């Protein structure tokens, strides 16, 4: 998302408790008109006031891409966060006005003559809500595997069952129902595609099973809502235009280090490796990419990186700043 992209003013039409920790928000354009079109798997950036200033969180669109009078998003209350989920749960009220970005899709469906396999864990169900609307409308073959800790904590189970029936397979951990991704992937058709969204452990399990079973990477797709932003060795970032060297601590992002240094301003929004605003060119060195924005081809090319989450592979990296 670019800073030049105009935001959209929306009104909070309805707030519903989808589960003990998840609320669903229905939004409509403040001017009463239709909202921008989007494809299944899209997200929006929501501008949220917090104690530290405005923050921008990405939320998947739950609503149908065929009904543009309203958008729906779901927000899980997080115990450790920058304040976005607390604001959405505790302070936002029906009738309030929010600013959002136009939709963007980093998790699109891929055309296939065979099945689309959707694997969700917890709040990772959200991007699949709009995707299943598209799949059902097109008559495509698909199945959903939705894993959650308990029926009480899960969101949208009744709604999914009523709308999609036999397409849905639920895995309730409180009943000992585990989602065996190795067994699931072992029965893939030659042209089946797999999509996974949820905790890092679930995504890694699918990636590992796919690698062990020789599934081409082009048929495995995943989305995380927040990338790992810290952890790893300390290194130095060099600003190519000035030659200034800035140390980046092990538990610090490049963006945080540059902001603390104060010698140059960098545009940023989400700080979670989703929106692409802080993308910076790499002059020398290689990045350890942790974002969800760049494609695998772009990451391998090592021409740019998202400095809000990604790190240097070595002890030094030179950026076009």
Q: How confident is the prediction along the chain (321 residues), in pLDDT tens digits per residue?
A: 334 568 999 999 999 999 999 999 999 999 999 999 999 999 999 999 877 678 888 899 999 999 999 999 999 998 877 778 999 999 999 999 999 999 999 899 999 999 999 999 999 999 999 999 999 999 999 999 999 999 888 999 999 999 999 999 999 999 999 999 999 999 999 999 999 999 889 999 999 999 999 999 999 999 876 555 557 899 999 999 999 999 999 989 999 999 889 889 888 877 888 788 899 999 999 999 998 888 889 999 999 999 999 999 999 999 999
d(CA 63, CA 71): 6
Please, how many CA atoms are within 13 Å of residue 27, restricted to the half-sphere of its CB? Answer: 29
DSSP labels, 219-259: GEEEE-SS-----S--EEEEETTTTEEEEE-TT--HHHHHH
Please, how many CA atoms are within 13 Å of residue 286, restricted to the half-sphere of its CB? Answer: 6
Q: What tens digit of pLDDT does each residue of 167-225 get?
A: 999 999 999 999 999 999 999 999 999 999 998 899 999 999 999 999 999 999 998 76
What is the helix (H) or strand (E) element at residue 207, kind and residue range? helix 200-212
75: which 2 tokens? 């927000």
299: which 2 tokens? 């990451």
* 85 contacts 75 by C-beta, under 8 angstroms: yes
pLDDT value for 147? 96
DSSP labels, 67-107: -TT-EEEEEE--SSSSSHHHHHHHT--TT-EEEEPPPB-SS
Q: What tens digit of pLDDT does each residue of 53-79 get?
A: 788 888 999 999 999 999 999 999 988
Taking every pair of C-alpha atoms in the chain, what is the biggest distance, in angstroms? 61
d(CA 302, CA 8): 33
What does R_g of the chain's alpha carbons equal in angstroms?
20
115: which 2 tokens? 């099945």
* 220 contacts 299 by C-beta, under 8 angstroms: no
pLDDT value for 296? 85
DSSP labels, 140-156: --EEEEEEES-TTT-SS
Could you give all domains of the chain from N- to C-terminal order, each with its CATH number?
8-100 (2.40.30.10), 116-223 (3.40.50.80), 235-319 (3.10.20.30)
pLDDT value for 267? 83
Helix-helix angle 126-138:157-164, to 10 degrees: 10
What is the helix (H) or strand (E) element at residue 159, kind and residue range? helix 157-164
Count CB neighbours of 247 within 10 A. Answer: 12
Residue 175 DSSP label: G
Burial class (CB in 10 A: 0-12, 13-18, 19+), 295: exposed
Please, how many CA atoms are within 13 Å of residue 280, restricted to the half-sphere of its CB? Answer: 32
Burial class (CB in 10 A: 0-12, 13-18, 19+), 256: middle
* 98 contacts 85 by C-beta, under 8 angstroms: no
pLDDT value for 225? 63
What share of the chain has pLDDT > 70, as a percent?
96
Burial string for 213-226 (b: 16+ CB within 10 Å, else e) reads eebeeebbbbbbbb
């Amino acid at each position: 998302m670019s800073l030049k992209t105009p935001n959209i003013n929306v009104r909070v039409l309805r707030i519903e408790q989808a589960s003990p920790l998840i609320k669903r928000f229905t939004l409509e354009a403040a001017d009463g008109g239709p909202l921008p079109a989007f494809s299944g798997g899209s997200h929006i950036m929501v501008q949220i006031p917090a104690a530290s200033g405005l923050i921008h969180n990405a939320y998947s669109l739950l609503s149908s891409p065929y009904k543009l009078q309203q958008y729906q998003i779901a927000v899980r209350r997080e115990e450790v966060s920058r304040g976005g989920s607390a604001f959405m749960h505790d302070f936002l009220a029906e009738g309030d006005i929010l600013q959002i970005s136009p939709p963007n899709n980093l998790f699109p469906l891929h055309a296939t003559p065979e099945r689309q396999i959707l694997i969700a864990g917890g709040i990772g169900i959200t991007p699949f809500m709009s995707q299943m609307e598209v799949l059902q409308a097109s008559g495509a073959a698909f199945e959903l595997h939705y894993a959650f800790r308990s029926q009480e904590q899960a969101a949208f189970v009744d709604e999914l069952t009523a709308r999609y029936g036999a397409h849905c397979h639920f895995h309730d951990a409180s009943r000992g129902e585990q989602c065996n991704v190795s067994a699931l992937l072992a029965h893939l058709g030659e042209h089946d595609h797999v999509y996974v969204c949820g905790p890092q452990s679930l995504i890694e399990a699918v990636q590992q099973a796919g690698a062990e079973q020789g599934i081409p990477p082009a048929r495995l797709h995943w989305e995380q809502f927040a990338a790992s932003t810290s952890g790893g060795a300390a290194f130095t970032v060099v600003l190519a235009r000035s030659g200034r060297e800035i140390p980046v601590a092990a538990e610090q992002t490049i963006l945080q280090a540059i902001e603390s240094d104060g010698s140059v301003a960098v545009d940023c929004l989400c700080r979670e490796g989703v929106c692409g605003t802080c993308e910076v060119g790499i002059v020398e060195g290689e990045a350890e990419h942790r974002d969800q924005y760049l494609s695998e081809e772009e990451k391998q090319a090592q021409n740019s990186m998202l400095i809000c989450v990604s790190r240097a592979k070595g002890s030094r990296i030179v950026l076009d700043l």
